Structure 1
């Protein structure tokens, strides 16, 4: 995958989480993820600790298929972007090994530019270049 294509993929990925228009967001989800794609999220450490306190040893959140992915992206947009508090951006460290792409993104404060959160994304791409598996790790 050429560097420009890899950059385009990560730019489109990060942009979908900030898209205010529901129809454009829906179209972007369908363009990025395959029909039966899965998004697996390892929540932040404090959420995992709370789950362990309730007897859950591994907490993984899953969204499968376009409808669930649209809901996941929309909820993230509504919580973090719509209020005007944060914005997402790629860190520019994308790399690819065969059909697997990894990169980091960050959530930054619009008020002062401080980094409020960082995530690692590991994407498995299908033959058509769309995401079939999306592993998201919240790192801080």
Structure 2
């Protein structure tokens, strides 16, 4: 497992964490303080904004989980990977691909997400 894979697996741990305190710890370990996330539906800046964004997803998609569906590909401080949002029964309801930039401390500085498949697309 390369460093980018461990980072992105921790990223998914944060997305899937329902305990607010533990999620904040994971966000701090995964994201730089001034990090930014953006996709067609959501955005969050800094640890507070990213936490609020994840919390909103939990409220809308209770008991759903994110799973990485590809290897993490990258070079230098750039990476990419794909994922799925799964229902409690394990059925994917949304699929996407994310592109990230890693800071010099090995944390995510920025992530840009794209939706590959979603209801209504």
Answer yes or no: same fold by TM over 0.5. Answer: yes
Distance (whole Å) between structure 2 residues aligned to residue 121 and residue 71 of structure 1 = 19
Larger radius of gyration: 1
Distance (whole Å) between structure 2 residues aligned to residue 12 and residue 120 of structure 1 = 16
Contact 1:19 1:77 in 2 (8 A): no
Alignment TM-score, normalising by the size of structure 1 = 0.77
Alignment pair present for 1:99 and 2:77: yes
Question: How many residue pairs end up in the alignment?
Answer: 117
Alignment pair present for 1:34 and 2:11: no
CA RMSD of aligned residues (A): 1.4
What's the counterpart of residue 46 of structure 2?
Answer: 65
Alignment TM-score, normalising by the size of structure 2 = 0.87
Distance (whole Å) between structure 1 residues aligned to residue 48 and residue 80 of structure 2 = 24
C-alpha displacement of 1:114? 2.1
C-alpha displacement of 1:6? 2.6
Among 65, 78, 100, the residue aligned to 1:87: 65
Q: Secondary structure at the match of 1:134?
A: strand
Relative contact order: is structure 1 or structure 2 higher (C-alpha 8 Å, sep ≥ 6)?
Answer: 1
Greater Cα shift, 70-79 or 124-133: 70-79
Give the gaps of 5 or more residues in structure 2: none
C-alpha displacement of 1:108? 1.6
Q: Secondary structure at the match of 2:113?
A: strand
Distance (whole Å) between structure 2 residues aligned to residue 95 and residue 127 of structure 1 = 18
C-alpha displacement of 1:62? 3.0
